[in-house]
Each structure stands twice: as structure tokens, then as C-alpha cells.
Amino acid sequence: MFNKRIKIKELLQSKQTGHKVTVMGWVRTFRNNQFIALNDGSTNNNLQVVVELGLLDDETLKRITTSASLKVIGEVVPSPGKGQKMELKAAAIEILGDSDAEKYPLQPKKHSLEFLREIAHLRFRTNTFGAIFRIRHSLAFATHKFFNDKGFVYLHTPVITASDAEGAGEMFRVTTLPIDNPPRKENGDVDFTEDFFGKSTNLTVSGQLEGELGATAFSEIYTFGPTFRAENSNTTRHLAEFWMIEPEMAFCDIEDNMNLAEEFIQYLIRYAMEHNGEDLAFLDQRLADEEKQKPQSERSEMGLLEKLRFVTENKFERITYTEAINILLDSPAYKKKKFKYDVAWGIDMQSEHERYLVEKHFKKPVIVTGYPAAIKAFYMRLNDGCEPGKETVAAMDILAPGIGEIVGGSQREERLEKLEQRMTDMHLPVEEMSWYLDTRRFGTVPHAGFGLGFERMVLFVTGMTNIRDVIPFARTPKNCEF
């Protein structure tokens, strides 16, 4: 019944005029009782609907308020106005749903991002968030297309897990036990055999370990699903619930891994530039306007589109962790004691250090490899021939301007004895992880993979600065609305 409507994006893209169409959407503005800017979410560009004098009675005209929903039948005609090639000459307008202008929280003016976060259920109806979430969609689709075209298998790794060996961060408990009075064992401990899964379970922090099980059968898999951190971090870069993309490749070393990650990031950006030109142009302008409010010294050197083009056209810088430390030690920032945290071989680089490397020194994305084993996860491959006390692993992090770590990856330790030794040293439950070690027991292969934080990628492409603005409904400490 409603299928005969045409979407506004499609209508504006076609060159045809003179025919009759049906459109539906929400009123953005209504000027002079004559010009309705109608939007249906398919594009930020509104369709101008022209209401001729006498078409509607006064009663109806009054109901055409911001966010009222309309069905309009009319003729597509060339527009005499500037800014649009065509407009719709209304022959009939039906009001599908009213919107009380006094009560509607989104007025046709600029609202702060903070305010819009509080009405996240309505912010989709603004130009900024329309653009952001259409771009987010494109980046998600491009992710699937990139890996599908390469023959990777999309693996849905589990969200609920009993494994707690990944050490990626604090976890949320998942339970059906009555929390006010859980069953107890004789010694008083909570009896998790009575829980839904018969044991203590959590929300996953990564699908990697299960991903490795897939890669050692299908050669190449990827995951793309929600992951969780129960860390009390109230920052502009952290979410308790976020989406992560984790490819895992058999017959792959750290070099191949870096190449794939770089190719992937550049592919995503190019895809958005090809498919979301209007949305990116809008956000580019938005960012330029924001920048103008800042003092000269704090302004970005590049605009959004300029930055995106730059990243797709230039190779990422590749340096070792040791080189990174030496650059930091040599830096004016270090010498003038501008860093809050000390620099020395062995440190887990802080955000300020990463930003210095990326934003000041190289001014482009940087891939850092060969991190100290002591600060990295158990599954990363030990590099051969290290100086004693300076053992490194085949890890790689990609740092992006304005974002920090956007990718973390490694070649995995495929040698059973070395892996078992590392797990024992780190007090990990070797027995419980026997399923994982089976991949090393039965036809082990060199393999590697990485995780890309999807929201950080969306931040990078949209030029937004708070991660809560690029996920539909953010989950952060003390915040779980909608």
C-alpha cells in the first residue's frame, strides 16, 4: 500500500520532472505558509514542497509544524529557487501525524551535542546525526564487502563466555541467579552450578580466541560484533559496549597483518567518500565551523575531507616500538618535561606519547611493531633473537591522528611449547584452555589477526570527537538509557 512512495534521495538524484509522485516524510521547516522542507531520512537534502494558495484550509496549514509527518502527492517541477534543481508542486497533502511545536524538543536551531545525547531517540532527525549514522551504515557494509570479496568467512563468535583468560579488561557478569539471595555451597560461596550455564559467565571482551578456531579451519575469518568492557572510564574514547571487527588469518605473518589492516582502513575511507559524499561534505563544513570557534593555535591543520584524502593517498608510517621510544626521548616535549608520564623502554605508551608520535612527529597514521612482551597479551608471538630482558612480541598497533589506537593486532604464538610456557608464567589456566591449545597441537600454522574498534573508525571518518556521538545509544558508566 505504501510501496508506491518514492524516497527523497532517489527523487532528487533523478533528472526527471513533469511526472506525478507520492512522497512521505517529516517537516523540517515551513516558510510563508508556502514552502515545506520535507525530509525522509534518506538524505540530508530536504525536498521543497510548494503549497499553492488555496490548496489547504487554515486549520490544516497550522498543523504543518516541525516534525509533523506528511504524505504529499504532487508534480515534480524544475525549481526557480537556488540550492535545488527541482521541487514538488503539491496537489494533495495528508497529515499523517501531528507534532506539537511547543513540546517538540528539536527546534529548528543549533542544539549542543550534549543536549542531543539526552534525546538520542530524536537526534537521528538532525542533519549531523543523519549524516553520522548513514556513514556508520556505509562503513559497516563496506566492512562486510571488503572481507566477503576476499573470501573471509564471517564468524559469529559468542557474546556470553565462561572464558576469562583474555585479560583484555574488566568484565560484566551474566547471570540468572537471584542477586539478592543467590544459592550457596556448604562453604558459603555462591553456587554457580545453579546458574543458567552451570558456571560463572561474562560478556565477551574479544572474539579473537574463537576466531582463531575458525581461521585454523577456514584459513580466513572475521568477526563483527559487540564487545564489552566494565571499566569505569568516563572519557570521550571509551564505551562499555562497542562493536569490534576482528579478522584472523591462517598462513599470515605480522607483515601480511599490517598490510591487510592498512588496506582495510583505506578501503573504508574510500568507500565512505564514494558513497556518502553529501554527508561528508556536511560534516566537513560542520567541523570547519567548529574550528573557527577555536583559537588559531588549537585549530586542525587539515579539514575533514582533506584528512581523509591524505590518509587514503599516503602509506602509513611503520616504526618499531624501540624507534618510537627513541623518538620520544629525543623530542622537545620530553626534554622540556611536557609529558606527564615518563618515557623509557618497557613502558606502555600513554595517550600523550601516542599523540605526539602521530600528531606532532609523523602527522599521519603510524603502525608500531615489536612491543615488549611484558606489556602484551599471552597469545602474541615471541620474537626470535631478543636480548635477554628485552623480549618483544610480534604485536602491531595502529595509531590514528585525533583517535589514538584504532587497531591492535599481532602474529599469534603458534608454537605449542612457547605458548604453554607463556601461559604458565602468566598464571593462566592451561588446562581449561585446552580447546584453544588444540589449534597448536593439530596442524598448527603461522597466523595473525587484529581488532579494529568500529566506533573509533566512525569517529575518524566523521570528524566527531566524542565516541558517544557515533553509536546509536551509548552505554557508559551510570548511563543505559533507551
Task: Give the span between the Cα atoms of 178 and 188, in whole angstroms.
Answer: 15
**Residue 146 binds to its own copies (criterion: CB under 8 A):** no
Q: Cell 620474537 belongs to which residue?
A: 383
**Residue 94 binds to its own copies (criterion: CB under 8 A):** no
Containing 49, the helix (H) or strand (E) segment is strand 47-50
CB closer to its own copies, 159 vs 347: 159
CB closer to its own copies, 48 vs 444: 444
**Residue 109 binds to its own copies (criterion: CB under 8 A):** no
Binding residues among 372-431 for its own copies as defined by CB under 8 A: 414
Smallest separation, CB 175 to its own copies (Å): 5
- Of 138, 414, 368, 464, whose CA–CA distance to 249 is shortest? 414
**Residue 26 binds to its own copies (criterion: CB under 8 A):** yes
Which span (75-83, 85-93, 302-310, 443-451) binds its own copies, by CB under 8 A? 443-451
DSSP letters spanning 311-325:
HHHSPPEEEEHHHHH
Q: Among 6, 9, 79, 291, which residue sits at the site for its own copies (rule: CB under 8 A)?
A: 9
Q: By the 8 A CB rule, do 177 and 195 touch? A: yes
Binding residues among 57-86 for its own copies as defined by CB under 8 A: 67-69, 71
- Of 95, 103, 241, 228, whose CA–CA distance to 161 is shortest? 228
CB closer to its own copies, 225 vs 303: 225
Binding residues among 200-259 for its own copies as defined by CB under 8 A: 201, 203, 210, 213-214, 217-219, 225-226, 228, 230, 232, 240-241, 243, 250-253, 255-256, 259
Which span (146-154, 301-309, 341-349, 355-363) binds its own copies, by CB under 8 A? 146-154
**Residue 303 binds to its own copies (criterion: CB under 8 A):** no
CA dihedral 25, 29, 31, 37 (to 10 degrees): -40
Smallest separation, CB 372 to its own copies (Å): 24
**Residue 341 binds to its own copies (criterion: CB under 8 A):** no
Question: Which residue pairs from 430-438 have beta carbons closer than 8 angstroms and sit at least 24 positions apart in sequence?
Answer: 432/163, 432/165, 433/163, 433/165, 435/213, 436/209, 436/212, 436/213
**Residue 107 binds to its own copies (criterion: CB under 8 A):** no
The angle, 0 to 180 degrees and rounded to 10, between the axes of the packed helices 304-313 and 254-275 is 140
CB closer to its own copies, 55 vs 159: 159
**Residue 282 binds to its own copies (criterion: CB under 8 A):** no
Binding residues among 313-332 for its own copies as defined by CB under 8 A: none
Q: Tell me the number of residues near its own copies by CB under 8 A.
A: 111
Q: Among 77, 79, 84, 154, which residue sits at the site for its own copies (rule: CB under 8 A)?
A: 154
CB closer to its own copies, 356 vs 460: 460
Q: By the 8 A CB rule, do 369 and 318 touch? A: yes
Q: By the 8 A CB rule, do 231 and 172 touch? A: no
Binding residues among 178-197 for its own copies as defined by CB under 8 A: 179-180, 182, 189-190, 196-197
Distances in Å between the Cα of 347 and the Cα atoms of 94, 143, 248, 342 are 65, 33, 27, 8
